[in-house]
Chain A
Amino acid sequence: EVQLVESGGGLVQPGGSLRLSCAASGFTFSSYEMNWVRQAPGKGLEWVSYISSSGSTIYYADSVKGRFTISRDNAKNSLYLQMNSLRAEDTAVYYCARFNLAANDYWGQGTLVTVSS
């Protein structure tokens, strides 16, 4: 059974940092591209970042470019999102999602990041 489990969310002050993790199981993690997608409270879905299966290709949304860093450790079946210089508008539930069949076919349950003083 495919499982994606996010962790690392919490309350952080503006300007602070947080590192999210996504633990993958039930599939060959190293064979799949991955995404981070977020959803602000009461709002729609917003794509945040993409990483290829090897980690050699990475993309970011303009809203997070220069502040967030996506990475993966295929040996540990884990995906990460390092978030620096956090702003109030980064407050959201962050989902990791597997990229397959030109879609995100499996999603984690999400982890809430709240940026507030």
Chain B
Amino acid sequence: IQLTQSPSSLSASVGDRVTITCRASQGISSYLAWYQQKPGKAPKLLIYAASTLQSGVPSRFSGSGSGTDFTLTISSLQPEDFATYYCQQLNSYPPITFGQGTRLEIK
């Protein structure tokens, strides 16, 4: 199963609402997770089961979708949110697959 994220990169300002899309090549029910990664750091789990917020993650992050189309939304960008975001499918494995990443930069 291939995951395609869009856009690959994105420039936005603090306070903006941002949406990142992840499309699966076949249906994966709700077995999708979202991660945030900052340079030189390990990925951090944000969302699992497509829409469940991981404990400790700010509520400005939300996820939605099922089947093949999923979105990660940040309702009001904060300075610490500028990072790279990855989706991951765990419906059908092996292999476990990741999207190619979306780099979120400061405008």
B97 at the interface (CB under 8 A from A): yes
CA–CA, A59 to B54, complex, Å?
26
B95 contacts across to A, CB distance below 8 A: 47, 59, 61-62
Whether the pair B49, A107 counts as a contact (CB closer than 8 A) is no
Say whether A61 contacts B94, CB under 8 Å: yes
- Contact of A104 with B43 in the complex, beta carbons under 8 Å: yes
- Closest partner residue, chain A, to B48 (CB atom): A103
A50 in the interface (beta carbon within 8 A):
yes
A106 to B45, CA, bound (A): 8
Give B94's nearest chain A residue, CB to CB. Answer: A59
Is A11 engaged at the interface, CB distance under 8 Å to the other chain?
no
Contact B86 A45 (CB under 8 A): yes
Interface residues of A in 96-110 (CB under 8 A from B): 101-110
- Contacting residues of chain B (15-66) with chain A, CB-CB under 8 angstroms: 31, 33, 35, 37, 41-45, 48-49, 52, 54
Interface range on chain A (Cβ under 8 Å from partner)? 20 to 34
Determine which of B43, B52, B93, B101 lies in contact with A107 in the assembled complex, contact meaning CB atoms within 8 Å: B43
Overall SS of chain A's interface:
strand
Q: What are 28 A-B pairs at a CB distance below 8 A?
A: A44-B86, A44-B98, A44-B99, A44-B100, A44-B101, A45-B98, A45-B101, A47-B96, A50-B93, A59-B94, A60-B94, A62-B95, A95-B42, A101-B49, A102-B48, A103-B45, A103-B48, A103-B49, A103-B88, A103-B90, A104-B45, A105-B45, A105-B54, A107-B42, A107-B43, A108-B42, A109-B42, A110-B42
Among all A-B residue pairs, the 7 with the closest Cβ atoms: A103-B48, A103-B33, A59-B94, A107-B42, A47-B96, A45-B98, A44-B101
Apart from A62-B95, A103-B33, list 18 A-B contacts with CB within 8 A.
A37-B43, A45-B86, A45-B98, A47-B98, A59-B93, A59-B94, A60-B94, A101-B49, A102-B33, A103-B45, A103-B48, A104-B33, A105-B45, A105-B48, A107-B43, A107-B44, A108-B42, A109-B41
